[in-house]
Amino acid sequence: MQNSNNWRRLDNSAKIFPIASSKKYSSVFRLSAVLKEEINASVLKEAVNLVLKHLPSFKVKLKKGAFWYYFEDNSKEIIIEEEKDYPCKYIDPNTNNDYLFKVTYWNNKINLDIFHSLTDGNSGVIFLREIVYTYIELAHKDRFTKALRTKRKLSNNTEDDYLKNYDKKSKGTRGSKKAYILKGKKLPLAAIGVIHININLEELKNKAKEKGVTITQYLTAALIYSIYNSKYKNKNGGRPIKVCIPVDLRKYFKSETVSNFFSYITVAADMKLKMLQNFEGILKFVKSEFERLLTKEEISKTMSANVKLGNNPFIKIIPLFLKLPIVKLSYLEIRKYTTTTFSNIGRIGIIGEYQKYIDKFLILIAPETVEKIKCSSCSFENDLVFTFTSVLQDTEVEEEFCKRLKEEGININIEGNGVHDFISEG
């Protein structure tokens, strides 16, 4: 609900993040744009300030109410810094002028770390894309004089589209079994290991087509297979490998909101079944699960169950200071129902004349103590970047994943943040 006087309520998904988040569970995702030129800090700051004028819904701070958090306009200056920490780290409002997103740069790369309460991946992409467009326009004023005068049309609708679209009568279905949890020695000093796998999109598309699946299905199957082959098989884990896949609800419901509007599906693979112990079997299973779960009815069920929970009058009247411990504890338990998350935000479309300045885009999701590895991917032009973010010292899953793709005849190229250096040499 949009309220006058410079404040607004958090949408249904956003409500949970400030309550459940901590330094160990940051609820932050990162979108990066790698340009073909070195980033100029002052131009970047100017670009972000200009974009915030057109997208004021991001220029907010989080405030505590008696029952829920809420957003209030933030008049402070935006802080732009050189990147010096691991990605997707907890955004401390006290050191970030209360902003819920953080813009950093490193060499040719612009990073946008976003606290999930503010928005989801798809609206995050709109925000980053606008920063990149504006940055390019300012950095090459001579070539973009017209573009600087005429701004692109951007939606500033912050409506809670969950409330508009949920089905009050729908009965939610919940997975009953806890998931297989990845185990291993954690990286010291709260480090986050990042491995980007650059994949030729054309080759991947052809391979997926050959198998009769979509790219997301193919990558999900490869991920399940990698977890099974690297960790599950040897440790004899009994629980199913569950991969949580966020779904953009804008594809299923009419929406222009820049607030969160996503749901998820969970592909639960019971690896004790013989048919799932080879890649082809997993592929078939993932395909059928996607077809079963990715329907408007099924998605609506999950979304409606979550909205109903947030709208439960008994939950509403619990004061925020009591909600904090209750939600933190229950969220810790809920997370045990997922082995990992894989978010594919798809193709990032860029207007033609700006394309030549951009090398690639990256998306990263924060791993945490329960979901120790998280995966994400996005594509630009003819490359798809599949990213592993991990708090584990070992890279068994990542190595197995790369091996799988290579065995399938797909060319890959690996980059990382240096924490897991040896894999890129292998």
Partner 1 sequence: MTLYPKVRNIEKSHLTIKLMIFISLLTMIICSIVNICTSTKYLWCLIVGAGIIYSWITVIYSLKRNINIGSNVMLQLVATSILVICIDFIIGYTGWAINYAIPIIIVIANITILVLTIVSINKYYKYAIYHLIIFILSMVPMVIYIASNEIIIKPIFTIISSIVALFTFILSLILCGKSIIEELDRRLHM
Residues of the shown chain interacting with partner 1 in the complex, contacts defined by CB under 8 A: 3, 5, 7, 9, 34, 63, 65-68, 70, 72, 82-87, 93-95, 98, 106-109, 188-189, 191, 194, 196, 316-317, 415-418
Burial (0-12, 13-18, 19+ Cβ within 10 Å), 4: exposed
Q: Report the C-alpha gap between 365 and 370 in whole angstroms.
A: 14
| 3-class secondary-structure state, position 389 | strand
Per DSSP, the residues of 184-199 read -PBPGGG--EEEEEEE
Q: Which is nearer to partner 1, 72 or 159 (CB)?
A: 72
Q: Which is nearer to partner 1, 84 or 274 (CB)?
A: 84
Q: Which is nearer to partner 1, 235 or 316 (CB)?
A: 316
CB 195 within 8 A of CB 388: yes
Q: Which is nearer to partner 1, 68 or 144 (CB)?
A: 68
Residue 319 one-letter amino acid: P
Q: Report the C-alpha gap between 249 and 260 in whole angstroms.
A: 9
Backbone CA torsion sign across 96, 390, 359, 214: negative
CB of 383 to partner 1, least distance (A): 14
Q: Which is nearer to partner 1, 82 or 210 (CB)?
A: 82
Q: Which residues contact 152 (CB under 8 A, 6 or more apart)?
A: 130, 133
Q: Which is nearer to partner 1, 106 or 144 (CB)?
A: 106
Q: Which is nearer to partner 1, 191 or 412 (CB)?
A: 191
Q: What is the DSSP pairing of strand 383-390 with strand 69-73?
A: unpaired
Q: Report the C-alpha gap between 400 and 21 in whole angstroms.
A: 31
CB of 232 to partner 1, least distance (A): 30
CB of 196 to partner 1, least distance (A): 7
Give the residue from 339, 343, 388, 379 showing the smallest Cα distance to 246. 343
Angle between helix 279-293 and 215-227 (nearest 10): 130
CB of 315 to partner 1, least distance (A): 10
CB of 166 to partner 1, least distance (A): 18
Q: Which is nearer to partner 1, 247 or 364 (CB)?
A: 364
CB of 6 to partner 1, least distance (A): 9
CB of 252 to partner 1, least distance (A): 28
Give the residue from 124, 191, 129, 206 showing the smallest Cα distance to 384. 206
303 φ, ψ (degrees, to nearest 5): -60, -45
CB of 29 to partner 1, least distance (A): 16
Distances (CA, A) of 424 to 7, 46, 364, 411: 47, 36, 18, 14
